A and B are shown apart, each in its own frame.
Chain A
Amino acid sequence: MIDREQVAVSDKKRSGRTAREASYVACALIAIAVFAYTFTDPFVVTLAGYTCAFALFALSINIILGGVGEVPLGQCLFFGVGAYGAAIGMGKLGLPFEVSVLIALVLSVVLAAIIGVITLRLTGAYFSIVSWGLTGVAMVAATNLEEITGGPLGLFGFPPIEIGPLQLSDPQTYFAVTATILLLAILFLVALRRSPFGAAMDSVRQNPHLARSVGVDVARVRLKAFMLSAPFAALAGALAVPYTQIVTPEVFSVANTVDGLLMVLLGGAQLVVGPVIGAAIFTLIPQAMNLDPNIRILVFSSIIILIMMFAPGGLHQLGVALRDRLGRKTDDDRSR
């Protein structure tokens, strides 16, 4: 009897949650459409599009950081593979953008499998440093394989970038496409986090030894997470190309990963949309501050320090605290 009642309650809860989440998705879709069609200023709209692309990269970093608890300093390797993949496919091979991107995604997964097998036996700082080192290798390769990568000056001067009938050179279309892809990625990651594999990742992050003792194949989970994160980063890199219009060996710079990491930490690693919030803050606030660039860096860095001091779990903590203060029921489900 009691059991059945509980099941009924949790079923009710679940259907409530589904309805609520469907409304979130609908809201997000409306927001994308409204934003894309009310803002005509190409600067704001393309920057928003690029922010969505970079948020994908932050999501990719968070699969590793928030997922299995490693700091993937080398994640920009996959970002670069995506960017170069799109650029080489379009510029050198004359393939359509979407085909080039698909090839790059597959390549990134293969690369992640190879690198993962070698490096994921390492943990903590060792993993971070080795993965970072690999990006150095990639940068040297991109600088010197001139026939393929265009050398130090990189690849540029692409034909108009389009996905089927969608012209990515049009700011509004670019934003709509990147935002929709970002939304799909978020939905996928929410589902992933709730799946048994998500639980396995959680257990690996919290205590790998305990996870192993209860039968979780830690190495396998870490490898799968790594291979899963790679195409997200590659997709982000490819979607950044319509914005940057040039791909240089600097895409493999660790500064890119650090930007992504900051977005994750700002928004909160334990929330699926955390990195997206972080990305929005990270790109929009500096642009909105009309200050001398050096003062801007100073102010922005101070803001980051303050956020890290008062909301070490990310900005969404402030929202949660506010909600609790206002007497709303606490909701332990942080998987959204």
Chain B
Amino acid sequence: MKLAYRMKVMFSVGAVVATTLQLAYAPSAMAADPVKIGLALPLSGAAATYGQELQRGAEYAADLINQRGGILSGRKLELVFEDEKGTPQGGVAAVQKLMSVGRVKAITGGTNSSVVLAESSVTKKRILQVNAGAQADAITDQGSPWLFQINNTVSLNSEAFNAYIVKTLKPKTVAYMGENSEFNKTVLEKLRESLKSAGIELVSTSTYDAETNDFTSILTKIKASNPDMIYVADAYPARAAQLWKQVRQIGGFKTEVMSPGVVTPGMIKPSEGAMNGVITGEIFMASDPGPDGKDFVENYQKKFNSVPGKGELVIFEAINLIASAMDKAGTDSDYDKISKVIREGAWQSPRGLLKFDEKGRARAPYFYIQRVENGAVVQLERVSAN
């Protein structure tokens, strides 16, 4: 009796749980649905500020598209956000939830390369994925036919910046120092190549771990070799600011450059003037957006009362790319067709026309050489990539 009773209770509890779960995850079946786009972003954790930037940029893009009447004869865009927590397992969960629960037709987002790599194994040959921000070359080296990348990869950025070093700055000797990370490994590799082919000597290379905050021994060593130029590769704002302060303390170098794509107001401000004179490169500059980006920057500023950064820009472009490509291909789910359209087309963006290569990478139409002056970056040169 008792056992039977217990079994009965167990089964009924199980049934209740099962129905609730089924209800919670049941797809909403409506015709004339909006086109849903899923965004896996770091909305909590250490990288949450990036996530918020991207969320704002994406919402802005979707608003503009919907104001124009949506895509695919009047269907609205609907954004579904999911937190990837800045971890690979978080990314996998987020993408799977977006695909199966959110019923999204495309995945975008992406700030951290490890997270996007994990996500791409889930999305491969199943759904269109546009990686807005993450920079590792490995992501698009995998050869996924439906995976695209908006931001320049590390090597594209390095090539553009190194060309400026070699052709315009023309140092005779260079010393490199940087955090020991995947990102900077490519930076150093590319720097070696460029300097070698230009006959410039790389007199010293020093790397340090993420926990380092005293750089004086490295800097003293570099100072002793008396290079024309110091090249610093570090993407972490607080640490880089500290590093530049210590560079000032030992008297600085003739030419000082920083790896492209990492200098942000959040890095310049805590350096308290120590970064003045440092030269770097970037794919976008809100203060000089060029003819195509003027409207974007001005309207964005009007709406949010702040200048759009690179994060807002790349996600804005990603949402626009997905929407326009689906519209042009006339489908939201024939990914072969959409991918073909993306590869063959040229896409209007605030940075000018974006074109994608066989691997699915966009090359920034312009590359900006910048110098830090009085706590802000000013443009030295705008280099066309074509």
Q: Which A residues are CB-close (under 8 A) to B99?
A: 42-43
Is A157 a contact partner of B43 (Cβ separation < 8 A)?
no
Report B66-95 residues with CB < 8 Å from chain A CB. Answer: 83, 85, 87-89, 92-93
A31 within 8 A of B: yes
Residues of B within 8 A of A41 (CB): 25, 100-101
* A-contacting 9-mer, from B114-122, B191-199, B255-263, B303-311: B114-122
Per the bound structure, the CA–CA distance linking A34 and B118 in Å amounts to: 29
CA distance A120 to B121 in the complex (A): 40
Report B-chain residues with C-beta under 8 Å of the C-beta of A97: none
Given the known interface contacts A245-B88, A246-B117, A293-B44, the answer about A42 and B96 at a Cβ–Cβ threshold of 8 Å is yes
Given contacts A50-B89, A153-B114, A157-B142, contact A39 B21 (CB under 8 A): yes
Residue in A closest to B82 when the chains form the complex, CB atoms: A293
Bound Cα distance A151, B14 (Å): 45
Chain B residues with Cβ under 8 A from A107's Cβ?
Answer: none
Closest Cβ of chain A to B4, distance in Å, is 11
Is A31 within 8 A of B96, CB to CB?
no
A154 to B97, CA, bound (A): 24
Q: Which of B85, B100, B118, B183 contacts A246 (CB 8 A)?
A: B118
Q: Main SS of chain A's interface residues?
A: helix
Q: B314 — which chain A residues lie within 8 A by C-beta? A: none
Contact A153 B138 (CB under 8 A): yes
B331 contacts the other chain (CB 8 A): no
Q: A19's closest neighbor in chain B, by CB?
A: B3
B185 is an interface residue with CB less than 8 A from chain A: yes
Q: If A243-B89, A246-B121, A293-B83 touch, does A46 touch B96 (CB 8 Å cutoff)?
A: yes
- Beyond A143-B180, A153-B182, A157-B142, is A245–B96 a contact (Cβ under 8 Å)? no
Q: Interface digits, B11-22 against A, CB 8 Å rule (1 contact, 0 not)?
A: 000100010010
CB-CB < 8 A to B89: which residues of A? 50, 240, 243-244
| List of A residues within 8 angstroms of B346 by Cβ | none
Once A43-B96, A287-B93, A294-B43 are accepted as A-B contacts, the answer to whether A156 and B182 lie under 8 Å apart by CB is no
Complexed CA–CA distance, A223 and B114 (Å): 36
The answer to whether the Cβ of A250 comes within 8 Å of any Cβ in the partner chain is yes
Count chain A CB atoms within 10 A of each CB in B10, B43, B121, B181 and give the residue with the most: B121
Q: Which residues of B contact A287 (CB under 8 A)?
A: 93, 97
Q: Whose C-beta in chain A lies nearest to the C-beta of B3?
A: A23
The reply to whether A43 and B97 contact each other, CB–CB distance below 8 Å, is: yes
User: Considering the chains assembled together, what is the distance between the CA atoms of A38 and B3 in angstroms?
Assistant: 25
Q: In the complex, what distance in Å separates the CA atom of A140 from the CA atom of B212?
A: 13
- Tell me how far the C-beta of B25 lies from the nearest C-beta in chain A, rounded to whole angstroms: 5
Closest to A169 in B: B121
B44 surroundings in chain A (CB, below 8 A): 293-294, 296-297
Complex Cα distance, B181 from A42, in Å, reads: 34
A144 and B99 alpha carbons, distance in the complex (Å): 35
Query: In the complex, which residues of chain A have a beta carbon less than 8 angstroms from the beta carbon of B122?
Result: 245
Given contact pairs A27-B10, A243-B89, A250-B87, A152 touches B182 in the complex (Cβ within 8 A): yes
- A190 at the A/B interface (Cβ < 8 Å)? no
B24 at the interface (CB under 8 A from A): yes
Taking each of B43, B117, B183, which has the highest tally of chain A beta carbons within 10 Å of its own beta carbon?
B117
Known: A41-B25, A156-B118, A287-B93. A244 touches B181 (CB 8 A): no
Is A47 among interface residues, defined by CB-CB distance under 8 A? yes
Q: How far is the CB of A210 from chain B (nearest CB, A)?
A: 39
Closest residue of chain B to A250 (Cβ to Cβ) is: B87
Contact of B25 among A44, A152, A240 (CB under 8 A): A44
Q: Which residues of B contact A309 (CB under 8 A)?
A: none
How many angstroms between the C-alpha atoms of A2 and B14 in the bound complex?
44
- Which residues in B have their C-beta under 8 angstroms from that of A246? 88, 114, 117-118, 121
Check A244 against B97 for contact (C-beta < 8 Å).
no
Instruction: Identify which of residues 33-63 in chain B touch chain A, using a CB-to-CB cut-off of 8 Å.
Output: 43-44, 48
Q: Judging by beta carbons under 8 Å apart, are A44 and B21 in contact?
A: yes
Is B150 positioned at the interface, with any CB of A under 8 Å from its CB?
no
- Residue A135, interface by CB 8 Å: no
Return the 4 tightest CB-CB contacts between A and B, nearest first: A245-B121, A293-B83, A152-B182, A43-B100
20 contacts between A and B (CB under 8 A): A27-B10, A42-B99, A43-B25, A43-B93, A43-B96, A43-B100, A44-B21, A144-B180, A151-B182, A152-B182, A152-B185, A153-B138, A153-B182, A157-B142, A244-B88, A245-B92, A246-B117, A250-B114, A294-B48, A296-B44
Given contacts A41-B101, A152-B180, 12 further A-B contacts (CB under 8 A): A47-B93, A151-B182, A152-B182, A153-B138, A156-B117, A156-B138, A240-B89, A243-B89, A245-B117, A245-B121, A246-B114, A293-B43
Residue numbers of A with Cβ under 8 A of B are 23, 27, 31, 34, 38-39, 41-44, 46-47, 50, 140, 143-144, 151-154, 156-158, 240, 243-246, 248, 250, 287-288, 292-294, 296-297
